[in-house]
Amino acid sequence: MSSEVITAGRTDRLLIGGQWCVPLTVAEPADVHDPSTGRVIGRVPVGGAADVDRAVAAAKDAGRQWRMTAPEFRADLLDEVAQRIEDRIDEFASAITAEMGAPLDNARDVQTQLAIDVFRSYAGIAREFVWEEPLRAGIVRHEPIGVVGAITPWNYPLYLASIKIAAALAAGCTVVFKPSLDTPLDGFLLTQTIVEVARYMGAPTGIVNLVSGRGTIVGEAISTHPGIAAVSFTGSTAAGRRVSAAASATIKRVGLELGGKSAAIVLDDGIDLETALSGALANVYYNSGQTCTACARILVPHYRYDDAVAIAEQITRRWTIGDPRLPGEHIGPIATRSQYESVIEYLNSGVTEGAQLVAGGLPDADQVPEHLRAGNWLLPTLFADVRPGMTIEREEIFGPVALLMAYADETDAVRTANDSIYGLSGAVWGADHERVLDVARRLETGRVVINGGPFDVLAPTGGYKQSGNGRELGVHGLLEFLEVKVLQMPLTGGQMGPRS
């Protein structure tokens, strides 16, 4: 172990117990690529099961003190973390842009700002939460569950790490954190920042420990480790199944935020079609379509379908690709090469199965600046004539690909939207407020966005069906990391209740 002072920007060792550690596992470091150019921009260590053991030991050691701290102290620490991220917002945003290709204003004003907002939200929740509740003859206590394993993906790397880590710390838990090997740089910055704050405030520095590595090794070790009480995973449904199965041997609590194939329903109640389609398509194309809650299936009334296709084509062609180092109205590349190749396969599948490629697809050479041509570039893409059962209609594409579908009536629209193994999100666009709410209530999803309503970090998010289980954000996210204990006392007057 190294005893060197934590410094911003270091990524060559694991961060365990507040110290820089050479991995016990002997493995070549992993290259981090800039998806806009294909160039290597960094390297991070590849840990293994022995490193997870070491991180769990550090987290358990820190947890003996951390779980006993006052909620107000934990809240102060979370506020200080938020402030330090804000003080270095450009550094965090630059890392996100470099490693996953989000345009600079996306990386700064959305992804990093959301992380700041999440830490502050959990500071407020920790202060306001009722940690003990009286019963008729006793007390209900909420206690930290223990060490939390946090496994995060590459699409919103800082934000998705923050919602797990901030909630766990607010609850009095400690964390073993595995960021995606594709986008680990911001995760190192975040962990370093938390350790810096912990040391500054006199908290144990092992409250958050970072072990970078492969999901099949480090993720598996976290999921199976008997010293980890809860695992919080965000990623694909296939990977979520593996995490859940691995965790079952130790009966640990598992929270899964997985894939989606969400639908946006445009009602036939006089809603302006261009307004609705502009909002619906922005939801699909933003972040290059790499948003698990994106409503890629856009359902419009059959008698307005031709107009919808024409309007959606015009809107789609206004979206452009561009250098992610610049802010502006453009999208960046697909974040990883494997995901890029997967999206291309889906485009080919859509055409083969009879969908109409209205706009987008692979760009021509002159649509991409010369210095970016080795990147993972895909134009915002629109398919029409999409029918239920097509591969692109059933499976999550996770790219900037929108699907226009016609429906016969409201019942048909709801049936089509719900006809999925997923149930993560949904949207309804309409002029009649009560009708919109009625349709929203009938959708089998964990969230429904109505007429483009703004995102709220206090609102719980999570899925129905194979989109996962558990909830993140807000009080519901805190509860995922708390155990419930009853202190049962004699009734007044000397009477005793049941003893078991």
Tokens found for residue 83: 């402030």
**Amino acid, single-letter form, for residue 207:** I
Find the helix or strand (DSSP H, E) in which 144 lies: strand 138-144
**Dist CA 372 CA 366 (whole Å):** 11
- CB-CB contact of 207 with 198 (8 Å): yes
Find the helix or strand (DSSP H, E) in which 60 lies: helix 49-66
> CB atoms < 10 A from the CB of 293, how many?
20
Pairing, β 426-429 against β 263-266? parallel
Q: Write 444-449 long-range contacts (CB < 8 A, 24+).
A: 444/418, 445/262, 446/471, 447/293, 449/283, 449/295, 449/425
**Dist CA 285 CA 319 (whole Å):** 8
Reported residue count of the chain is: 500
Pairing, β 330-331 against β 320-321? parallel
Residues annotated as catalytic (active site), given as ranges = 257
> CB atoms < 10 A from the CB of 67, how many?
16
What residue has token string 């079609």? 273
